Amino acid sequence: MLLGDVGTSYTKILDVEKEEYRVIKTLDLLKSNVRFDIACGHNAKLKADRVVNELVALEKGSRKLLGEGNFLVVDVGSRDIKYVKMKNNKYEEMDWNALCGATLGFSIELLENHFSVKTSEIEKASESLGVTCGVLGMAKIFDKISEGCEINNVLASFVKGIAENVYRFINGPEFFYLSGGLCNNSLFINSFRCKVEPLGRFVLLEGLR
Amino acid sequence: MKIGIVGVPPQEILDKYNGNDFIDLDTLFDFTDNSKAEIYLPKIYCATIKSIIANALTIKLDLIIFDNGYSKCDNGRFVSEILKRELTVPIITTQNNATRRHPQPICESDLELRKKFDLIVDSVVKDVDKSKLKRVEPDYGFWGVPPNDFSLLNLFPKETHVFGWARCMEAKVPQDLELEMMVREDLPTVFYAQAFCSKNSLAKYLAKKHNGLYVEVDDVLDNSVKSKIEAYLLLNK
């Protein structure tokens, strides 16, 4: 059985029989003839007959990884932010920020490519750049650079701005679990003002099993 | 006469024109082109208000009855003034101060949510037979105004009760803020507002207070909002 989390930029794949996980670019997936038995994600319906809602997959996958109980898990994707909060094994709260305030992961990758920098190798910033969404945040980056600010500092401030944005969106918790590709970005994780535990980028796939 | 109406005009005014052909200008018809409204309105504006202007510019009308006070919205008040100055068709502006709440069987019926809204909107200008409606025990609530894009309503099951201004429409008390803010405490409810509408303040406030889902939609429903509502309904099953 082949499971897919077909995101905007990347597709996460699980071959259940082989217990094999892999990540490919969604653009490459769309050009291929790969089809999934079950999938979630923005482009899932193009590649699977059985499509599961992403937030439901996040909730199920988190419960498989964390067990029953209380938790807040936040998935920061290329295009959107979504979270679900469970209390006493029951659904408590959710939200999904898909348009205004979004395109955050995508913006980081775009900037890394543009400046040939790996943000995960940059030290965290003390100041955050006020980031409403990825697109508006990028305009601010170029303004700062034109003012003579050092590129790495500006990028770190941008990432901190994104972290602040996510933190406000999830109502300022003391602790949360992080899901998604940004789990591998230490700058992003260290830019939060609260404790963050990364769960990796395959949480939704666990929810599809 | 072909009469365009906006909002829920007072019954006595509608009765005066009984027998005429009424058209609800708040509606996004197949032919409604909201971009037409941009000759008077900013591009970024409430889609329902844009539809009113676009329809008023497109449909050949003999009269417009525009309920433009606090029984509608501030945007409506400003827009009625624009239409008065720009159109040759006569416009009667009204403020519906009715306080007697009529029963709301459509809001609690076992009809599909979209059908409920069709009937609620129809009930403003014509008598709707409610005698055969059956009440359903709700699993969910939908709070808000009739959305610009009715396809949003297809996401909900029949077991959805209607709250908010749409309920005020059926009750024929569009200025009744107390009824507009009424929700069922234990019912998972989606609080909907049209983007750039001042009712977003109520929707956000009530969603937070009642642990509901606040949803703001501009123009037509997109996949992200659709997925968000689907997730909320599934997680609250």
Per-domain residue ranges of chain B: 2-94, 113-235
Q: CATH topology for A54-202?
A: Nucleotidyltransferase; domain 5 (3.30.420)
Helix (H, G, I), strand (E, B) or coil at A179: strand
- Residues spanned by CATH 3.30.420.40 within chain A? 1-52, 54-202
Report the alpha-carbon distance of residue B216 to residue B184 in Å, rounded: 21
pLDDT tens digits, B106-134:
999 999 999 999 999 999 998 999 999 99
Is B81 within 8 Å of B49 (Cβ atoms)?
A: no
Amino acid B31 reads F
Q: What architecture does CATH give domain A1-52? A: 2-Layer Sandwich (3.30)
pLDDT tens digits, B10-62:
999 999 999 999 999 999 999 999 999 999 999 889 999 999 999 999 999 99
Report the alpha-carbon distance of residue A166 to residue B16 in Å, rounded: 55
Give the residue carrying structure tokens 């900037």: A111
pLDDT tens digits, A59-107:
999 999 999 889 999 999 888 889 999 998 888 999 988 665 556 778 8
Chain A nearest CA to B7, separation (Å): 29
B232 CB near a chain A CB, below 8 Å?
yes
* Polymer length in residues for chain B: 237
Report the alpha-carbon distance of residue B229 to residue B78 in Å, rounded: 32
**Tokens matching residue A207:** 């929810």
A133: pLDDT strictly greater than 80: no
CB contact under 8 Å between B224 and A91, yes or no, is: no
Say yes or no: domain B2-94 is CATH 3.40.50.11890.
yes
Nearest to B14 by CA among B144, B146, B127: B127
Report the alpha-carbon distance of residue B170 to residue B113 in Å, rounded: 14
Sign of the C-alpha dihedral, residues A111, A115, A119, A124? negative
Model confidence, pTM: 0.86
Strand partners, B85: none
Q: Which residue of B has its CA nearest to A58?
A: B231
**Tokens matching residue A151:** 């590129």
Report the alpha-carbon distance of residue B123 to residue B136 in Å, rounded: 20
Is A38 within 8 Å of A53 (Cβ atoms)?
A: no
Reported as a pLDDT band with limits 50, 70 and 90, residue B104 is: very high
Element (H, E) at A54: helix A54-66
Q: Mutate which of B155, B228, B234 to disrupt the A interface (most A C-beta within 10 Å)? A: B228
